[in-house]
Amino acid sequence: MRYPSSSINVQLNITDFGLEALRAPGPEDLYDIIHERYERASIVLTSNRAVSEWPDIFGEPLLASAALDRLTHRAHFVEITGASYRAEQTKQQLAAQRRSKPSPKQEARPA
pLDDT digits (tens, 9 = 90+) for 51-74: 889 889 888 889 999 999 999 999
Q: How far is CA 11 from CA 14, 34, 41, 61, 75, in A?
A: 10, 12, 6, 27, 14
Query: For the chain, which domains are there?
Result: 7-108 (3.40.50.300)
For residues 3 and 7, what is the distance between their CA atoms, to the nearest angstrom? 7
Q: Is the pTM of this model over 0.75?
A: no
Please tell me the predicted confidence (pLDDT) of residue 10: 85
pLDDT bracket for residue 87 (50, 70, 90): confident
26-37 helix and 61-72 helix, angle to the nearest 10 degrees: 30
Q: Where are the alpha helices (DSSP H) in 1-111?
A: 26-37, 54-58, 61-72, 85-100, 104-108
